[in-house]
Amino acid sequence: MTEPRAARVLALVSGSGTLLEAVLQACTDPGYAVDVVAVGADREGIEGLERARRRGIPTFVEPVSAHPDRSAWDAALAARIDAHDPDLVLSAGFMKILGPAVLGSHRVVNTHPALLPAFPGAHAVRDALAHGVRVTGCTLHEVDAGVDTGPILAQRAVNVLPGDTQESLHERIKVVEREMLVAALPGLARVHPLDEA
């Protein structure tokens, strides 16, 4: 019986790339069946791209401003992703909404700093604190056309501590978020020889 090959994962980043770094660190283990084949971004000059470049991983930048509208950008981004033939696309702190060209041709997963369906959107940690919840956490989910509405793949809880600020709570969520992603990614992206027949 043939062993499954390492899954080809393409990561999209918009900032410092700490989620990406956690995955890249895991990839140094030969038993971790994930290969990050490329890292894409919507802007130049970010640490997420530098993390990939320092490891010799191909990178690309596809800024929205280079296109007449979001639809054209989405099509261009889809073409850039297609060129690397990934099995899975990881949105690792990518702060742009993906459109039908990308989502129609690739399985995309994303992490979110709340226990979805609670607190979707860009201000999840702030919103959780404002609502006074005692427990929040993080979610790994498939990306669909909505905002943080895709099927949930994994979740982990994080207690809200007395005196927590948005920053202190978010930092603790990020630690758990990275652990969750690293643990789940090989199973999500696994490719068996029959898949390629």
Task: Give the model confidence (pLDDT) of 14-31 as tens digits.
Answer: 999 999 999 999 999 999
- C-alpha span between 71 and 90 (Å, rounded): 20
Rg (CA), the chain: 17
Among all residues, which ones are annotated catalytic?
112
Binned at pLDDT 50, 70 and 90, residue 5 comes out as confident
**Cα–Cα distance for residue pair 152/25, rounded to 1 Å:** 25
38-70 pLDDT, tens digit each: 999 999 999 999 999 999 999 999 999 999 999
Instruction: Say if pTM beats, i.e. exceeds, 0.75.
Output: yes
| CA atoms of 63 and 60, how far apart (whole Å) | 10
Q: What is the pLDDT of residue 4?
A: 65
The type of residue at 148 is D
Structure tokens at 175: 């630690």
Q: Are 166 and 125 in contact (CB under 8 A)?
A: yes
Q: Return the amino acid letter for 19.
A: L
Euclidean distance between CA atoms 13 and 23, whole angstroms: 13
Token digits for 55? 């490891």
